[in-house]
Amino acid sequence: MLEGVERLVSLVDSRSSALIGCTLNEINDAVRRCDVHALANTDGHFAAIAREGKTVRMARTIGIPLRYLAAKMYHGPFLVVGWRMDQLFEWCREQRIGWQFDPAYTRMVPAHYLVEIDQVGCPDPAPRYHRFFNPPIGEGSDDLEEAGANYIGATYQALKNWIVTVPADEPIALAFSGGVDSTSVFLLARKAMEELGGDPDRLRAFTLDLGEGRDARQAAEVVHKLGLENNWEVVRIPAERLDLEEAIRAIEDYHPLDVECAAVALCLLEGIRERYPSLKYLLDGDGGDENLKSYPLEDSDLTVSSVLRNPLLYQEGWGVDAIKHSLIYSGGLSRAYVRTYAPAQVHGFRAFSPYTVRSVIAEALAIPFEKVIGDSAERLATVKQDVVSAGLKAVTGIAMPAYPKRRFQEGAGGATAESYREWRVSKSWCRRVFLRQWEERLRAAWNPEGERRSGNEMAVTEGVLVV
């Protein structure tokens, strides 16, 4: 392997959101030194890349994706880091090695891990994983009023940490369904703005309606009960503008529930952007379902036992050591948060959900779910409403209107469940679209008559061999 060639190519800078406990420069230094203890003593979000000699290290939290690819040039490996597959592909094309690329060769850094890779030649060594988030499990109170106060108290603090980073004269949008999570964020963010000496009316809630959607009616009832009608808008979009193939291209994934969610998110954010061209900041309640395990088990092969005995299942999937863990995509919300992040990036928003922050997740994990629900799937489905309602009352003094859970795409999709099912899709369909989209992009790069660079070609700058 040629020495003197810089073999780490970072297409993105280290980033943070609502970060507390250290600066971003200190995060970079901790990642370079593989100091997981320093990372563990922070809160908020970050994604960082650093190197020490021939070892490259990367780390991220749920809220900021990070992806990498091992390419071959100049007699050795190049590690290319970005947040999207197509970023990595475009770099390969610029280097005339697009023929090496396949989306399946890319890897996602799993949330809550520091990943290190040694650049020592062929074959590429397996990455090593160092965990920096190890919260106690089930050691909190089984009194849901106390648990709710702790959980929503942490959520409130996470919101304050983010709001202080937003310029005081900038308005903030909220993706609002009138459900438990988005309503709680609405009320907590307003309280945080008041406490910080700002104007709570700079926060405006937006509800998507693709045609007599149930979320629009629900949201109207909620804002009426709360007296916040003047801080809310319905974004009505013709249902035919919903584009599942566009969503697959945006999130670079094919899990159908995430595709559907991203498709409606793209519609909502496009509608907001058309009305408010300069709006930058966006809040939502993503992660609230994952924290309090509020997903219908009939949608999956999961059981109550599998959910309770794998406490971070919804946040991280089965874990990096499990056979079902995807190197390409990670797992759980670590994977799925792209459904929020990518649509926000497409339309120029900086998105944040307090429910994805580690301190908030830790308070949810402290709840002894087995003691609270026993083995009842029915009780598991109602715990979130009880915890959040109790916590919001404790933190704000407001009795929050609460409605049964619906998925974002279902509530926006139409007046009946049947109208939503009309555009539900299978994983096999999504995967076929994903592969077709990439085949179209890769065709020119795979062309044997095109401009191609061999991995054995020497690095030359202005006629001088780099050694």
Q: pLDDT tens-digit profile of 294-346?
A: 988 877 788 999 999 999 999 999 999 999 999 999 999 999 999 999 999 99
* Identity of the residue numbered 386: D
Tell me whether strands 232-236 and 203-209 are parallel, antiparallel or unpaired. parallel
| 377-401 tens-digit pLDDT | 889 989 999 999 999 999 999 999 9
Tokens of 39: 């990372």
Inter-residue contact 353 to 63 (CB < 8 Å): yes
The structural domains of the chain, with segments of one domain joined by +, span: 8-133+440-465, 144-425
Radius of gyration of the chain (CA): 23
Alpha-carbon gap, residue 305 to 309, rounded angstroms: 6
Alpha-carbon gap, residue 297 to 407, rounded angstroms: 13
What is the structure's pLDDT at 410? 73
Q: Give yes or no for residue 438 having a pLDDT over 60.
A: yes
Q: Which residues of 61-71 are buried (b: 16+ CB within 10 A; e: fewer)?
A: bbbbbbbbbbb
Q: Give yes or no for residue 414 having a pLDDT over 90.
A: no
208: nearest Cα among 409, 436, 423: 409
Tokens of 364: 């949810």
Within 10 Å of residue 231's Cβ, how many Cβ atoms?
18
No. of helices (H) and no. of strands (E), the chain:
19, 16
Q: Give yes or no for residue 447 having a pLDDT over 90.
A: no
Q: Give yes or no for residue 465 having a pLDDT over 60.
A: no
Which residues make beta-bridge pairs with 236?
209
Q: What is the CATH number of domain 144-425?
A: 3.40.50.620
Q: Give yes or no for residue 214 having a pLDDT over 70.
A: yes
**In sequence order, what are the residues at sequence separation of 6 or more whose Cβ sits closer than 8 angstroms to the Cβ of residue 396?**
187, 188, 191
Helix (H) or strand (E) holding 203: strand 203-209
**Sorting pLDDT into bands at 50, 70 and 90, what band is 455?**
confident
Which residues make beta-bridge pairs with 48?
59
Q: Give yes or no for residue 192 having a pLDDT over 80.
A: yes
111: nearest Cα among 348, 305, 391, 356: 356
Alpha-carbon gap, residue 85 to 338, rounded angstroms: 12
What is the structure's pLDDT at 425? 82
Alpha-carbon gap, residue 289 to 384, rounded angstroms: 8
Within 10 Å of residue 466's Cβ, how many Cβ atoms?
13
Inter-residue contact 56 to 117 (CB < 8 Å): yes
Inter-residue contact 406 to 177 (CB < 8 Å): yes
